[in-house]
Amino acid sequence: MPRLRLIEDSAPAHEPGSPSAFDVPLADGALDAPDDEQALDAYSRAVSGVAEQLAVSVASLRVQRQTRRGRVQSGASSGVVLTHDGFILTSAHVVAGNAATGSARFTDGRELRFTVEGRDPLSDLAVVRADGTDLIPARLGDAEELRVGQLVVAIGNPNGFEGSVTAGVVSALGRALPTRAGRGVRVIDNVIQTDAALNPGNSGGALADGRGRVVGVNTAVAGIGLGLAVPVSATTQRIIAALIAEGRVRRAYVGIAGGPRPLPPRARAETGAERGVEVVEVIDGSPAALAGLHVGDVIFELDGTATESAADLQRLMVAERIGRDATAKLVREGSVLELTVVPAELDTGRL
């Protein structure tokens, strides 16, 4: 039977009189307690660095709404400072309701009144403006540069605890988060999933990368260790700019509900397209109804751009298409057709 050998057995025996490790003098201060810098590992330094840099740019928002009894406190959330003169980014659901106003409290003790400049329920983003002129804006990053497993830091005010910091990693990218505004339904693309702890009150707060750049706006808790954030990207920044300039985001719509559907073999051979969006509902009086779209039609192209999913069609519904003719190519009962549809403006002003 083979005999197990302890690690110590492989070490040469110490001969009397020969120097050992215990005989070597230690350098001065070798046993001193480590200083603060030495005690922090790389992970801790990254998290604490982000917290120190970004905490001053994250506000605790206390929202009030108008009721029959007057203005009442309706919740607490978070916001990210965008500009020196008071523009703050938050979540649209945070400031939903009648004439929402409130106060923004900062880590330096200041508390400033704010009003809602604009909100966009279909991206779950909103901009409020605080009565201040010397705020410290956060740096915005680009969520397109994130990788799964990358360190992220969430800063917000969960359950009213101001300036709370949690850290985790990017658990997944490319998630889809459905949003609704009246009859309008949209999907927020490329939502960030993280295991950084998020709790009620974190909504509207910052999700930052290891360099302190805001790459997401915390929006939802989908379960323990499963938080979601709206990505900060070129699209997001256009929405923010529109909310600051106009107080709203203009979008086109055609008025259908649908889902992905493979094209039949004959249509695939004729068009070269593999799949499209099957129409499962046409809203009465909508541009789709006026154009003659039917339930069962499969739209595979709009103005030369392939539409393989409802998200593809949604991305084409930008403000520039409002009131302009668009050519929809579709398959109906095996035949390939072209229809002209004129997208209208999606009304979310009363939401």
Closest CA to 114 of 140, 139, 82: 82
Question: Which is catalytic among the residues 78, 203, 233, 309?
Answer: 203
Report residue 104 as tokens.
């923004």
Q: Are residues 214 and 167 in the same domain?
A: yes
Half-sphere exposure of 229 (CA within 13 A, CB side): 37
Q: Which amino acid is at 71?
A: R
Report yes or no on 20 lying in a domain.
Answer: no
Report yes or no on 45 lying in a domain.
Answer: no
Report yes or no on 272 lying in a domain.
Answer: yes
What is the distance between the alpha carbons of residues 149 and 346, in angstroms, rounded to a whole number?
Answer: 38
Report residue 5 as tokens.
């050998």
Q: Are residues 150 and 228 in the same domain?
A: yes
Domain total for the chain?
Answer: 2
Report residue 107 as tokens.
């880590």
pTM: 0.75
Return the CATH number at 282.
2.30.42.10
72, with CB counted inside 10 A (0-12, 13-18, 19+), is exposed
Question: Average model confidence (pLDDT) for the chain?
Answer: 84
pLDDT of residue 338: 95
Question: Which is catalytic among the residues 74, 93, 297, 312?
Answer: 93
Closest CA to 77 of 266, 220, 190: 220
Return the CATH number at 169.
2.40.10.10
pLDDT of residue 25: 57
What is the distance between the alpha carbons of residues 168 and 142, in angstroms, rounded to a whole number?
Answer: 18
pLDDT in tens, 338-348: 999 999 998 76
Range of the domain at 223: 143-233
Report yes or no on 312 lying in a domain.
Answer: yes
From 202, 233, 264, the end of a domain falls on: 233
pLDDT of residue 287: 95
Whether 84 is catalytic = no
pLDDT of residue 11: 42
φ/ψ bin of 122: left (φ > 0), alpha (ψ from -120 to 50), beta (otherwise): alpha
Q: Are residues 211 and 166 in the same domain?
A: yes
Report yes or no on 221 lying in a domain.
Answer: yes
- The DSSP-derived string for 3-50 is PP--GGGGSPPPPTTS--GGGSPPPTTTTSPP-HHHHS-HHHHHHHHH
Instruction: Tell me the residue ranges of DSSP E strands in 96-143.
Output: 101-105, 111-120, 125-130
pLDDT in tens, 151-184: 999 998 876 677 789 999 999 998 877 776 655 5
Question: Which is catalytic among the residues 120, 124, 297, 312?
Answer: 124
Cβ atoms within 10 Å, residue 225: 14
Mean pLDDT calculated for residue range 227-250:
91
pLDDT in tens, 291-332: 999 999 999 999 999 999 888 888 898 889 999 999 999 999
Cβ atoms within 10 Å, residue 160: 12
CB 131 within 8 A of CB 112: yes
95 φ, ψ (degrees, to nearest 5): -115, 25
Report yes or no on 263 lying in a domain.
Answer: yes
Q: Which amino acid is at 131?
A: D
Half-sphere exposure of 79 (CA within 13 A, CB side): 36
Report yes or no on 245 lying in a domain.
Answer: no
pLDDT in tens, 31-89: 555 555 555 688 888 999 999 999 999 999 988 877 777 777 777 889 999 999 999 99
